[in-house]
Amino acid sequence: MKKILEVLQYGEMDVRFNTDIKIEGNIEIIPAITSAAAISMATRLWGGNECSVLAMIRSLAIADLSLCSDRKEIIRYLDESSMVMAHAFMDTKKEIEKRGGNVHIFGPSIMPSKMKS
């Protein structure tokens, strides 16, 4: 097990970050983790606190963007990269449904019923 990202708040303005992953010389791990995270987000629940988890992920992204020297370039990169991944996931969803599978997609503020978990 690897710690992808640990974020702990020790005080009002004391937020600390940690990870077990070293990207120096291993940059290809980033797309792999991105894909694994997206698949996890699309296929199983995170203990019933999806709304809070997504809110914290987005909060961290906003904090990061607020410190960028070229916000528009980063946003453009994130938009293009996420669009490529979204198309891949939609193609996969169509293939699963073609084979008789059933895929449910939930919006960020919609909690699936207990029967679907």
Q: Residue 104 — very low, low, confident or very high, per pLDDT cuts 50/70/90?
A: low
- Whether residue 68 has pLDDT greater than 50: yes
- Whether residue 117 has pLDDT greater than 50: no
pTM, whole model, 2 decimals?
0.70
- Whether residue 38 has pLDDT greater than 50: yes
The conformation of residue 103, written as its DSSP 8-state character, comes to -
Containing 32, the helix (H) or strand (E) segment is: helix 29-43
Q: Residue 81 — very low, low, confident or very high, per pLDDT cuts 50/70/90?
A: very high
Q: Return the HEC string of 39-56.
A: HHHHHCCCCCCHHHHHHH
- Domain extent listing, the chain: 6-116
